[in-house]
Amino acid sequence: MLRTIRPARTTLVRAVRPVRPVSGRVGRLGRHVTTGTTSSTTSASSPDLSTTLAMAIEQQGPMSVATFMKHCLTNPSGGYYIDKDPLGAKGDFTTSPEISQMFGELVGLWLAAQWLYYGQKQPFRVIEYGPGRGTLMDDSLRALVSAKSTGAKEALKEVLLVEASPVLRDAQRKKLCGAESQFKTEEDGSITCVTKYGVPIRWYEDSKMLDKLASSNDPLHNYIVAHEFFDALPIYQFEKTDKGWRELMVNYGVENKTKESSILLPGQTHIKSSDLDKDKKKTFHLVTAPTWTVASKVIPQSHKRYRDLPEWSKIEVCPDAWDVANQMGRLVAKGGAAFIVDYAVKPGVPVNTLRGIRDHKICSPFEEPGKVDLSADVDFTAIGIASRSKNKENVSAFGPINQATWLKNMGIEMRTEKLMEGKEEYIKKRIESQYKRLVDIGINGMGKIYKAFFLTHSSHGYPVGFPIPEPKDLKEPHQKPEKDPKDTEPKVVEV
């Protein structure tokens, strides 16, 4: 989720950090952390999902940020991704594959090269999580099948897409199979069709539907792509107080601007009216749970990365990302590799990064549920750990590295020149500006704020396009034997 946003006429990335009101505590994590209370009023123009969520909270009390996020993005009645195509100039954001065909083409080249060099030419499938309009897959397949001498076209047996949105599934079918093609519904709940290249294609609406495949003896190798998928998965937010971990939850009502622990139980009215927002508008906003919740008891204890943090640390944890990464690890362990690109500015456990994206600008995540895209920074270390948690011997994790580094190593400069050859001047300029946008490593440049991360089968060497470090530059995990093989960081190389 650049997802790119465009404030005024400047192009920005989807994932610029929103400015939040801060209740000003400096956590011992060394960052300025907030009790994050960006809020806004529900609008009369979006009553459906907003009203449902407001009523649920008023009747049952505040809900987890993860529950709120899940409803906002994929609730079948009014979730953001369910009934619209949010990409492009008329939508809310754009992404690298939508900016230039070169992005998808280089992914296709990566798939072919990874398979050719390391996959021992085994029959394989390509899996994409969150394929949007199908643009990345379309450009990738074209590049993959045109690499004729490799034999990849013949070895590609299936394309699998994981897509929650019926509108986007339809757009993907049209793009990948042709406008006249038709879906067929299968007994296992998937829908199928055949691509323009004659390769069978299958859609699953939920990643959980791939679990059976991940644990089966299916012989195909799995080559996986996930571009701006993880940042749309629901996160929990916690703070480590002097009384233990407390969950930050989404409340609806008149916001208490002064108190920190302000969860009203249904029917309770103990907050003084003088403490409440002067405008007395009801809003969705964050509150800190006054006691433990089930999530705050379990999730921060689930890994030493969270357990060992000092008091007053704040964290965002995405159990769904753990689940998907673990699934990817199981698929790659059978043979194959994964290429993941997402938004992540700082290494480490994300803190207070949830943001809304609307009309190519950052906005409050609590503004009009279902009408605003939501995104949170991706924790690549957690993805690496999860992917290897059941497969330490078979799966290696590499990265994250800047998108620009990977694109350049994959030959984007040569591809740009080739595309420009013989074109009219204005087209040349357009291609050049697309190239510049993808590899821009300025402060909010896509080449820098988007990171590439890789999973490979452990029998492979470094992933294609990954800069191979000099031995002296290798970080600690490569040089020292791990002390506790059950609970170690992944084989992450930072360059």
Report the interface residues with ligand SAM, using CB under 6 A: 1, 3, 73-74, 81, 87, 95, 97-98, 130-132, 136, 162-165, 168, 207, 227-229, 232
What DSSP assignment string belongs to 312-326?
A: T-EEEE-HHHHHHHH
Residue (342 or 367) nearer to ligand SAM, CB: 342
Q: In the complex, what is the shortest distance from the CB of residue 73 to ligand SAM, in angstroms, rounded to a whole number?
A: 6
In 3D space, the residue among 233, 451, 225 whose CA is nearest the CA of residue 343 turns out to be 451
Cβ 233 to ligand SAM shortest distance, Å: 6
Kindly state the DSSP code that residue 479 receives in the 8-state scheme: H
Of 190 and 488, the one with the shorter C-beta distance to ligand SAM is: 190
Task: Report helix, strand or coil for 248.
Answer: strand
- 111: helix, strand or coil: helix
Residue closer to ligand SAM by CB (options 72, 419) is 72
Choose between 135 and 313: whose C-beta lies nearer to ligand SAM.
Answer: 135
Find the shortest distance in angstroms from Cβ 287 to ligand SAM: 25
**CB of 155 or CB of 455, closer to ligand SAM:** 455
Nearest to 468 by CA among 401, 381, 382: 401
Q: Provide CB contacts within 8 A for 456, sequence distance 6+.
A: 114, 118, 332, 337, 338, 395, 396, 398, 463
Rg (CA), the chain: 23
For the record, the structure tokens of 201 come out as: 């294609």
Please say which residue, 228 or 316, places its beta carbon nearer to ligand SAM. 228
C-beta closer to ligand SAM: residue 87 or 328? 87
The least CB distance from residue 175 to ligand SAM, in Å, is 12
Minimum distance from CB of 4 to ligand SAM (Å)? 10
Q: Give CA–CA dist 315/52, Å, rounded.
A: 28
Round to whole Å and give the CA distance between 50 and 56. 10
- Residue 195 CB, shortest distance to ligand SAM, in Å, is 17
3-state secondary structure of 341: strand
Query: In this structure, are residues 62 and 287 in contact, taking their beta carbons and an 8 Å threshold?
Result: yes
Task: Quote the least distance from Cβ 237 to ligand SAM, whole Å.
Answer: 18
> CA dihedral in degrees (216, 220, 226, 230; nearest 10)?
10
Q: What is the closest distance, in whole angstroms, from the C-beta atom of residue 169 to ligand SAM in the complex?
A: 9
For ligand SAM, the closer CB: 130 or 300:
130
Question: Which one-letter amino acid corresponds to residue 248?
Answer: L
Rank residues 81 and 435 by Cβ distance to ligand SAM and give the closer one. 81
Q: Which of 167, 164, 98 shows the shortest CA–CA distance to 137?
A: 98
Maximum Cα–Cα distance across the chain: 74
In the complex, what is the shortest distance from the CB of residue 260 to ligand SAM, in angstroms, rounded to a whole number? 32
Q: Which of 450, 286, 92 is nearest to 84 (CA)?
A: 92
- Indicate left, alpha or beta for 32 from its phi (over 0: left) and psi (-120 to 50: alpha): beta
The one-letter amino acid code at 488 reads T
